[in-house]
Amino acid sequence: MLKDAWTDYPYRQIIGDVGALSEFDDGYFDVIICHNVLEYIDDKKAVISELSRVLKNDGFISIAKHNRAGRVMQMAVLLDDFDKANALLDGHNSTASKFGSIRYYEDEDILKWEPSLNISEVRGIRTFWDLQQKQELHGDEQWQEKMVQLERKVANVTEYRNIAFFHHLIMKRRNKDL
């Protein structure tokens, strides 16, 4: 995946486990991107606490995560796997072909792991995209533009966000005056 990393803008990508952050001072980073990571690690609390430590007071953490309800829809609608859909509904985890076990967590769990953070925004990602059964359309630029417009339109609508395949959370420091 590193060969596909963005190169348009300068940034520093940290490779390694959470211990790699120990070389950075408190409040070092303006923006931290943690996309589809937490569901694959055991000690989510330790990672979130360390990310919070190295975040500047006015910075933010961008977290993209699997959404269990979206995964249930994927299993039932796209893959006809009712056993996996029911297992997910019963609280079991799932698997990803490249990364192994997906250990789901709720958006609000992050607040339990690190009380200094606040969820300032939650958006749904890929609410409709994968439900389109005509896979050949996915490569059509006009279709993509229309789909992205639709996805953006519903990203903040609660009913659609709740069933999106992924959630995108923006985490900021909790206002200490509250």
Q: What is the pLDDT of residues 94-143, one digit of tens each?
A: 888 788 889 999 999 999 999 999 999 999 999 998 888 888 888 899 99
Helices (H) and strands (E) in the chain, counts: 6, 6
Q: Which two tokens stand for residue 43?
A: 């000690």
Q: How many domains does the chain have?
A: 1
Judge contact between 67 and 36, C-beta under 8 A. no
Count CB atoms within 10 A of the CB of residue 119: 16
Q: Confirm whether 63 is domain-assigned.
A: yes
User: Using one digit for the tens of pLDDT, what is the confidence trace for 51-69?
Assistant: 999 999 999 999 999 999 9
What's the predicted TM-score (pTM) here?
0.87
In this model, does residue 178 exceed pLDDT 50? no
Q: Give the residue carrying structure tokens 């006009």.
A: 142
Considering the chain, what is the average pLDDT of its residues? 90
Pairing relation of β-strands 29-35 and 55-66?
parallel
Q: Confirm whether 76 is domain-assigned.
A: yes
Q: What's the CATH number where 9 sits? A: 3.40.50.150
CA–CA separation, 70 and 83 (whole Å) = 15
Average pLDDT in the 19-32 region?
A: 94
Provide the residue range defining the domain that includes 63.
2-173
In the structure, what pLDDT confidence band is assigned to residue 150 with cuts at 50, 70 and 90? very high
Q: Confirm whether 178 is domain-assigned.
A: no
